[in-house]
Structure 1
Amino acid sequence: MSCTTAHAHELYQLYASHLIKRDIWDVKRSVMEQRFQFDPFAPQISCAGIHEHHKILDDLGDEMVVINQAYTRLWPAAQRDCTYLTSRRRVDDTDIYAVINYSVNHPDDHIPASFVRASAEVGMVCESVIRPQCTETSLDALTRQDIQTKIYYQAKISPGGWVPAAVVRETSKREYPKFLHQLGKGCTEHFSDRPLDCSTVKKAFESRPPPAE
Protein backbone atom coordinates (compact mmCIF):
# COMPACT_ATOMS: atom_id res chain seq x y z
CA MET A 1 0.00 0.00 0.00
CA SER A 2 1.43 3.38 -0.97
CA CYS A 3 1.89 5.92 1.79
CA THR A 4 -0.21 9.10 1.91
CA THR A 5 -0.03 11.99 4.34
CA ALA A 6 -3.11 10.59 6.09
CA HIS A 7 -1.47 7.16 6.41
CA ALA A 8 1.68 8.76 7.76
CA HIS A 9 -0.23 10.69 10.40
CA GLU A 10 -2.18 7.58 11.41
CA LEU A 11 0.97 5.47 11.63
CA TYR A 12 2.66 8.14 13.68
CA GLN A 13 -0.28 8.52 16.06
CA LEU A 14 -0.53 4.76 16.61
CA TYR A 15 3.18 4.30 17.15
CA ALA A 16 3.77 7.40 19.26
CA SER A 17 0.45 7.74 21.08
CA HIS A 18 2.17 6.97 24.37
CA LEU A 19 4.30 10.10 23.94
CA ILE A 20 1.25 12.33 24.28
CA LYS A 21 1.29 11.63 28.00
CA ARG A 22 4.82 10.47 28.57
CA ASP A 23 8.24 10.76 26.99
CA ILE A 24 10.52 7.76 26.77
CA TRP A 25 14.28 8.17 27.25
CA ASP A 26 16.17 4.92 26.69
CA VAL A 27 19.84 4.82 27.64
CA LYS A 28 21.93 1.77 28.18
CA ARG A 29 23.10 0.18 31.39
CA SER A 30 26.91 0.28 31.21
CA VAL A 31 27.80 -0.13 27.54
CA MET A 32 29.51 2.93 26.07
CA GLU A 33 28.93 3.81 22.41
CA GLN A 34 30.20 7.09 20.97
CA ARG A 35 30.34 8.73 24.39
CA PHE A 36 26.81 7.65 25.32
CA GLN A 37 25.84 5.10 27.95
CA PHE A 38 23.32 2.49 26.79
CA ASP A 39 21.32 -0.30 28.44
CA PRO A 40 20.92 -3.62 26.56
CA PHE A 41 17.50 -4.08 28.16
CA ALA A 42 16.18 -0.84 26.60
CA PRO A 43 15.04 0.75 29.89
CA GLN A 44 12.89 3.82 29.85
CA ILE A 45 12.44 6.90 31.98
CA SER A 46 9.00 8.48 31.76
CA CYS A 47 7.97 12.06 32.42
CA ALA A 48 4.33 13.11 32.30
CA GLY A 49 2.98 15.69 29.89
CA ILE A 50 6.06 16.50 27.84
CA HIS A 51 4.85 15.94 24.26
CA GLU A 52 4.57 19.38 22.65
CA HIS A 53 4.15 19.03 18.88
CA HIS A 54 5.33 17.22 15.78
CA LYS A 55 5.41 17.95 12.08
CA ILE A 56 5.89 15.81 8.98
CA LEU A 57 8.88 17.09 7.03
CA ASP A 58 8.68 14.70 4.10
CA ASP A 59 6.39 11.97 2.76
CA LEU A 60 8.69 9.63 0.87
CA GLY A 61 6.01 7.19 -0.21
CA ASP A 62 6.08 3.42 0.24
CA GLU A 63 5.04 3.92 3.89
CA MET A 64 8.06 6.06 4.79
CA VAL A 65 7.83 9.52 6.34
CA VAL A 66 10.29 11.93 8.00
CA ILE A 67 9.02 13.48 11.25
CA ASN A 68 10.33 16.20 13.54
CA GLN A 69 9.06 15.90 17.09
CA ALA A 70 9.57 18.52 19.80
CA TYR A 71 9.13 18.06 23.55
CA THR A 72 8.05 20.47 26.22
CA ARG A 73 10.98 21.83 28.18
CA LEU A 74 11.39 20.28 31.62
CA TRP A 75 13.13 22.76 33.89
CA PRO A 76 16.09 22.95 34.40
CA ALA A 77 16.89 20.79 31.32
CA ALA A 78 17.03 22.28 27.83
CA GLN A 79 14.15 21.62 25.43
CA ARG A 80 14.68 18.65 23.12
CA ASP A 81 13.56 17.54 19.70
CA CYS A 82 14.24 14.64 17.37
CA THR A 83 14.03 14.21 13.59
CA TYR A 84 13.65 10.66 12.38
CA LEU A 85 12.50 8.54 9.49
CA THR A 86 9.75 6.07 10.27
CA SER A 87 9.05 3.15 7.97
CA ARG A 88 6.58 0.27 8.11
CA ARG A 89 7.07 -3.00 6.24
CA ARG A 90 5.30 -6.32 6.03
CA VAL A 91 7.78 -9.17 6.09
CA ASP A 92 7.36 -11.07 2.84
CA ASP A 93 4.90 -13.95 2.91
CA THR A 94 4.25 -13.67 6.66
CA ASP A 95 1.81 -12.05 9.10
CA ILE A 96 4.66 -10.01 10.59
CA TYR A 97 4.98 -6.23 10.35
CA ALA A 98 8.03 -4.17 11.32
CA VAL A 99 8.28 -0.47 12.13
CA ILE A 100 11.71 1.12 12.13
CA ASN A 101 12.51 4.65 13.33
CA TYR A 102 15.98 6.16 13.12
CA SER A 103 17.41 9.65 13.25
CA VAL A 104 18.17 11.40 9.98
CA ASN A 105 19.15 14.82 8.67
CA HIS A 106 16.72 16.68 6.44
CA PRO A 107 17.17 19.92 4.46
CA ASP A 108 13.94 21.37 5.90
CA ASP A 109 14.96 20.57 9.46
CA HIS A 110 16.25 23.56 11.40
CA ILE A 111 17.28 23.08 15.03
CA PRO A 112 16.38 26.09 17.24
CA ALA A 113 19.38 27.50 19.06
CA SER A 114 17.87 26.72 22.47
CA PHE A 115 17.13 23.05 21.67
CA VAL A 116 19.17 19.92 22.30
CA ARG A 117 18.86 17.34 19.54
CA ALA A 118 18.03 13.79 20.63
CA SER A 119 18.77 10.78 18.44
CA ALA A 120 16.90 7.50 18.13
CA GLU A 121 17.06 3.96 16.80
CA VAL A 122 13.76 2.20 17.41
CA GLY A 123 12.43 -1.11 16.17
CA MET A 124 9.03 -2.69 16.71
CA VAL A 125 7.87 -6.02 15.30
CA CYS A 126 4.22 -7.06 15.46
CA GLU A 127 3.12 -10.61 14.71
CA SER A 128 -0.54 -11.58 14.37
CA VAL A 129 -1.48 -15.03 15.64
CA ILE A 130 -4.64 -17.10 16.09
CA ARG A 131 -5.71 -17.67 19.66
CA PRO A 132 -5.59 -21.34 20.73
CA GLN A 133 -9.28 -21.29 21.74
CA CYS A 134 -10.42 -20.23 18.25
CA THR A 135 -12.70 -22.87 16.68
CA GLU A 136 -13.51 -21.11 13.40
CA THR A 137 -12.81 -23.11 10.24
CA SER A 138 -13.18 -20.21 7.80
CA LEU A 139 -10.77 -17.29 7.58
CA ASP A 140 -13.56 -14.84 6.76
CA ALA A 141 -15.48 -15.87 9.88
CA LEU A 142 -12.75 -14.70 12.25
CA THR A 143 -13.48 -11.90 14.72
CA ARG A 144 -11.13 -9.79 16.82
CA GLN A 145 -11.75 -12.19 19.71
CA ASP A 146 -10.06 -14.93 17.65
CA ILE A 147 -6.72 -13.17 17.12
CA GLN A 148 -4.00 -11.52 19.11
CA THR A 149 -0.79 -9.66 18.34
CA LYS A 150 2.67 -10.25 19.77
CA ILE A 151 4.75 -7.07 20.10
CA TYR A 152 8.54 -7.01 20.17
CA TYR A 153 9.95 -3.55 20.96
CA GLN A 154 13.53 -2.32 21.22
CA ALA A 155 14.77 1.26 21.40
CA LYS A 156 18.08 3.04 21.78
CA ILE A 157 17.54 6.75 22.30
CA SER A 158 20.12 9.30 23.33
CA PRO A 159 18.34 12.34 24.80
CA GLY A 160 21.44 14.47 24.23
CA GLY A 161 23.10 16.41 26.98
CA TRP A 162 23.35 14.45 30.21
CA VAL A 163 20.87 12.18 32.02
CA PRO A 164 21.80 10.39 35.29
CA ALA A 165 22.14 6.71 34.42
CA ALA A 166 21.10 5.57 37.92
CA VAL A 167 17.78 7.42 37.64
CA VAL A 168 17.13 5.89 34.23
CA ARG A 169 17.86 2.36 35.44
CA GLU A 170 15.57 2.55 38.46
CA THR A 171 12.68 4.21 36.65
CA SER A 172 12.88 1.82 33.69
CA LYS A 173 12.08 -1.19 35.84
CA ARG A 174 8.70 0.32 36.60
CA GLU A 175 7.86 2.22 33.41
CA TYR A 176 8.76 -0.23 30.64
CA PRO A 177 5.90 -2.70 31.36
CA LYS A 178 3.50 0.25 31.68
CA PHE A 179 4.43 1.52 28.22
CA LEU A 180 3.87 -1.83 26.53
CA HIS A 181 0.51 -2.19 28.26
CA GLN A 182 -0.56 1.29 27.15
CA LEU A 183 0.59 0.65 23.58
CA GLY A 184 -1.51 -2.50 23.34
CA LYS A 185 -4.52 -0.85 24.98
CA GLY A 186 -4.30 2.16 22.66
CA CYS A 187 -4.18 -0.01 19.53
CA THR A 188 -7.11 -2.12 20.74
CA GLU A 189 -9.26 0.95 21.34
CA HIS A 190 -8.26 2.54 18.02
CA PHE A 191 -9.29 -0.47 15.92
CA SER A 192 -12.17 -1.81 18.03
CA ASP A 193 -14.89 -0.38 15.76
CA ARG A 194 -13.13 -1.11 12.45
CA PRO A 195 -13.66 -4.17 10.23
CA LEU A 196 -11.10 -6.92 10.68
CA ASP A 197 -8.67 -7.33 7.78
CA CYS A 198 -8.39 -11.12 7.79
CA SER A 199 -5.57 -11.05 5.24
CA THR A 200 -3.21 -9.98 8.03
CA VAL A 201 -3.63 -13.37 9.74
CA LYS A 202 -3.97 -15.59 6.67
CA LYS A 203 -0.60 -17.32 7.15
CA ALA A 204 -1.21 -17.84 10.85
CA PHE A 205 -4.66 -19.26 10.14
CA GLU A 206 -3.40 -21.67 7.48
CA SER A 207 -0.49 -22.92 9.58
CA ARG A 208 -2.28 -23.37 12.91
CA PRO A 209 -2.88 -26.87 14.26
CA PRO A 210 -6.44 -28.19 13.81
CA PRO A 211 -8.84 -27.29 16.65
CA ALA A 212 -9.21 -29.94 19.33
CA GLU A 213 -12.42 -31.92 19.03
Structure 2
Amino acid sequence: MRSMALSLLTAAFLAGCQYSAEPTITEPVQVYVSDTRKNPGKYLLYIDASELSRNVRASDFTCIAHTFPVDLRAGFKTAVELAMQQQFETVETVIAPVKQSELRARQAAGVIKVTGITLDAELTAVPGFLRNTMNTSVLMTAGLTVDGSANGRLLGTTVQGAGKAQADGGMACEGGSRAFNASSEAAIAQATRQIVEAIANSPEIRNNR
Protein backbone atom coordinates (compact mmCIF):
# COMPACT_ATOMS: atom_id res chain seq x y z
CA MET A 1 0.00 0.00 0.00
CA ARG A 2 2.80 2.36 0.93
CA SER A 3 4.70 1.68 -2.30
CA MET A 4 1.50 2.24 -4.31
CA ALA A 5 0.96 5.63 -2.63
CA LEU A 6 4.55 6.57 -3.35
CA SER A 7 4.12 5.57 -6.99
CA LEU A 8 0.99 7.68 -7.32
CA LEU A 9 2.74 10.65 -5.74
CA THR A 10 5.69 10.26 -8.10
CA ALA A 11 3.37 10.03 -11.10
CA ALA A 12 1.53 13.17 -10.02
CA PHE A 13 4.82 15.03 -9.70
CA LEU A 14 5.98 13.92 -13.13
CA ALA A 15 2.65 14.87 -14.66
CA GLY A 16 2.98 18.33 -13.17
CA CYS A 17 0.64 21.14 -14.11
CA GLN A 18 -0.20 22.94 -17.31
CA TYR A 19 0.11 26.72 -17.31
CA SER A 20 -1.39 27.98 -20.53
CA ALA A 21 -0.26 31.15 -22.28
CA GLU A 22 -2.80 32.65 -24.67
CA PRO A 23 -1.97 36.32 -25.34
CA THR A 24 -4.97 38.59 -25.75
CA ILE A 25 -4.89 41.40 -28.32
CA THR A 26 -7.51 44.14 -27.96
CA GLU A 27 -6.03 47.13 -29.81
CA PRO A 28 -4.25 47.61 -33.16
CA VAL A 29 -0.47 47.39 -33.10
CA GLN A 30 1.08 50.86 -33.28
CA VAL A 31 2.80 51.29 -36.64
CA TYR A 32 4.24 54.48 -38.09
CA VAL A 33 4.13 54.72 -41.88
CA SER A 34 4.67 57.67 -44.21
CA ASP A 35 1.35 57.24 -46.04
CA THR A 36 -1.57 56.89 -43.65
CA ARG A 37 -4.30 56.72 -46.32
CA LYS A 38 -6.25 53.49 -46.46
CA ASN A 39 -5.89 51.37 -49.58
CA PRO A 40 -9.12 51.70 -51.59
CA GLY A 41 -11.49 48.88 -52.38
CA LYS A 42 -12.65 45.69 -50.72
CA TYR A 43 -10.15 42.99 -49.79
CA LEU A 44 -10.79 39.47 -48.54
CA LEU A 45 -8.58 38.32 -45.66
CA TYR A 46 -7.70 34.69 -44.98
CA ILE A 47 -5.61 33.86 -41.92
CA ASP A 48 -4.17 30.42 -41.16
CA ALA A 49 -2.58 30.49 -37.72
CA SER A 50 -2.86 26.75 -37.06
CA GLU A 51 0.91 26.26 -36.71
CA LEU A 52 1.30 28.91 -34.00
CA SER A 53 0.75 26.66 -31.00
CA ARG A 54 3.01 24.28 -29.09
CA ASN A 55 3.67 22.76 -25.67
CA VAL A 56 6.85 23.92 -23.96
CA ARG A 57 8.83 22.50 -21.08
CA ALA A 58 11.49 24.34 -19.12
CA SER A 59 15.01 23.85 -20.43
CA ASP A 60 16.32 23.14 -16.92
CA PHE A 61 15.25 20.82 -14.08
CA THR A 62 13.69 23.47 -11.83
CA CYS A 63 10.27 23.45 -13.53
CA ILE A 64 10.66 20.36 -15.69
CA ALA A 65 7.51 18.71 -14.25
CA HIS A 66 5.27 21.41 -15.72
CA THR A 67 4.17 22.09 -19.29
CA PHE A 68 3.41 25.48 -20.77
CA PRO A 69 1.02 25.38 -23.74
CA VAL A 70 1.84 28.51 -25.76
CA ASP A 71 -0.96 29.41 -28.15
CA LEU A 72 -0.62 32.45 -30.43
CA ARG A 73 -3.40 31.45 -32.84
CA ALA A 74 -6.23 33.66 -31.59
CA GLY A 75 -3.97 36.54 -30.61
CA PHE A 76 -2.19 36.68 -33.96
CA LYS A 77 -5.46 36.40 -35.89
CA THR A 78 -6.97 39.32 -33.97
CA ALA A 79 -3.82 41.43 -34.38
CA VAL A 80 -3.80 40.89 -38.14
CA GLU A 81 -7.52 41.61 -38.50
CA LEU A 82 -7.21 44.87 -36.56
CA ALA A 83 -4.16 45.87 -38.58
CA MET A 84 -5.84 45.18 -41.93
CA GLN A 85 -8.84 47.28 -40.90
CA GLN A 86 -6.42 50.17 -40.50
CA GLN A 87 -4.86 49.62 -43.94
CA PHE A 88 -7.84 48.93 -46.22
CA GLU A 89 -11.17 50.66 -46.76
CA THR A 90 -13.09 47.39 -46.50
CA VAL A 91 -11.83 44.05 -45.19
CA GLU A 92 -13.85 40.85 -45.02
CA THR A 93 -12.37 37.90 -43.13
CA VAL A 94 -13.02 34.58 -44.86
CA ILE A 95 -12.74 31.09 -43.36
CA ALA A 96 -11.30 29.40 -46.46
CA PRO A 97 -8.76 30.42 -49.11
CA VAL A 98 -10.17 32.36 -52.07
CA LYS A 99 -8.83 31.96 -55.61
CA GLN A 100 -7.94 34.98 -57.67
CA SER A 101 -10.51 33.92 -60.26
CA GLU A 102 -13.26 34.22 -57.64
CA LEU A 103 -12.52 37.81 -56.62
CA ARG A 104 -14.53 39.67 -59.25
CA ALA A 105 -17.64 37.64 -58.45
CA ARG A 106 -17.24 38.67 -54.81
CA GLN A 107 -16.68 42.31 -55.79
CA ALA A 108 -13.23 42.27 -54.21
CA ALA A 109 -10.15 44.11 -55.42
CA GLY A 110 -7.86 41.52 -53.90
CA VAL A 111 -7.24 38.81 -51.35
CA ILE A 112 -4.78 38.91 -48.45
CA LYS A 113 -3.42 35.64 -47.11
CA VAL A 114 -1.48 35.48 -43.84
CA THR A 115 -0.05 32.13 -42.75
CA GLY A 116 1.68 31.28 -39.49
CA ILE A 117 4.70 29.17 -40.47
CA THR A 118 6.76 28.39 -37.37
CA LEU A 119 6.71 28.98 -33.64
CA ASP A 120 9.66 28.43 -31.32
CA ALA A 121 9.36 29.08 -27.59
CA GLU A 122 11.75 28.54 -24.69
CA LEU A 123 11.56 28.86 -20.92
CA THR A 124 14.38 28.90 -18.40
CA ALA A 125 13.75 28.97 -14.66
CA VAL A 126 16.45 30.72 -12.65
CA PRO A 127 16.42 29.58 -9.00
CA GLY A 128 16.35 32.33 -6.38
CA PHE A 129 16.57 32.44 -2.60
CA LEU A 130 12.81 31.99 -2.11
CA ARG A 131 11.28 32.11 -5.60
CA ASN A 132 12.28 31.32 -9.16
CA THR A 133 12.53 33.77 -12.02
CA MET A 134 11.02 32.68 -15.32
CA ASN A 135 12.76 33.80 -18.52
CA THR A 136 10.89 33.20 -21.77
CA SER A 137 11.56 33.81 -25.45
CA VAL A 138 9.21 33.44 -28.41
CA LEU A 139 10.11 33.48 -32.10
CA MET A 140 7.51 33.19 -34.85
CA THR A 141 7.51 33.47 -38.64
CA ALA A 142 4.57 34.15 -40.93
CA GLY A 143 3.99 34.45 -44.64
CA LEU A 144 2.08 37.25 -46.37
CA THR A 145 0.70 37.33 -49.91
CA VAL A 146 -1.63 39.81 -51.56
CA ASP A 147 -3.24 39.02 -54.93
CA GLY A 148 -5.24 41.49 -57.03
CA SER A 149 -8.36 40.56 -58.95
CA ALA A 150 -6.82 41.74 -62.23
CA ASN A 151 -3.12 42.27 -61.54
CA GLY A 152 -2.09 38.93 -60.05
CA ARG A 153 0.47 38.76 -57.27
CA LEU A 154 0.93 42.19 -55.71
CA LEU A 155 3.07 41.25 -52.71
CA GLY A 156 4.76 38.21 -51.25
CA THR A 157 7.03 38.21 -48.22
CA THR A 158 7.93 36.48 -44.97
CA VAL A 159 7.95 38.27 -41.62
CA GLN A 160 9.35 37.41 -38.21
CA GLY A 161 8.39 38.35 -34.68
CA ALA A 162 10.48 37.88 -31.55
CA GLY A 163 9.85 38.62 -27.90
CA LYS A 164 11.51 38.07 -24.54
CA ALA A 165 10.06 38.51 -21.06
CA GLN A 166 10.71 37.78 -17.42
CA ALA A 167 8.34 37.13 -14.53
CA ASP A 168 8.30 35.92 -10.95
CA GLY A 169 7.92 32.16 -11.00
CA GLY A 170 5.33 32.05 -8.22
CA MET A 171 4.89 29.13 -5.85
CA ALA A 172 4.89 26.37 -8.48
CA CYS A 173 6.33 27.86 -11.70
CA GLU A 174 2.95 29.33 -12.70
CA GLY A 175 4.70 32.61 -13.47
CA GLY A 176 5.92 31.02 -16.68
CA SER A 177 2.53 31.62 -18.29
CA ARG A 178 2.70 35.34 -17.47
CA ALA A 179 6.17 35.59 -18.95
CA PHE A 180 5.06 33.69 -22.05
CA ASN A 181 2.05 35.97 -22.49
CA ALA A 182 4.32 39.01 -22.47
CA SER A 183 6.93 37.57 -24.82
CA SER A 184 4.19 36.25 -27.14
CA GLU A 185 2.49 39.64 -27.33
CA ALA A 186 5.83 41.22 -28.24
CA ALA A 187 6.41 38.64 -30.98
CA ILE A 188 2.91 39.11 -32.39
CA ALA A 189 3.32 42.89 -32.38
CA GLN A 190 6.64 42.73 -34.23
CA ALA A 191 5.36 40.33 -36.89
CA THR A 192 2.17 42.33 -37.39
CA ARG A 193 4.15 45.56 -37.64
CA GLN A 194 6.27 44.07 -40.42
CA ILE A 195 3.13 42.94 -42.26
CA VAL A 196 1.68 46.46 -42.11
CA GLU A 197 4.94 48.07 -43.21
CA ALA A 198 5.18 45.71 -46.19
CA ILE A 199 1.64 46.59 -47.28
CA ALA A 200 2.04 50.33 -46.66
CA ASN A 201 5.25 50.43 -48.71
CA SER A 202 3.80 48.54 -51.71
CA PRO A 203 2.91 50.78 -54.67
CA GLU A 204 1.39 47.73 -56.39
CA ILE A 205 -1.24 47.47 -53.65
CA ARG A 206 -1.77 51.23 -53.50
CA ASN A 207 -2.42 51.34 -57.26
CA ASN A 208 -4.48 48.14 -57.45
CA ARG A 209 -8.01 48.65 -58.72
Question: Into which bin does the TM-score normalised by the smaller protein fall?
Answer: 0.3 to 0.5
Relative to the length of structure 1, the TM-score reads 0.36
**What is the TM-score when the length of structure 2 is the normalising length?**
0.36
Q: Bigger radius of gyration, 1 or 2?
A: 2
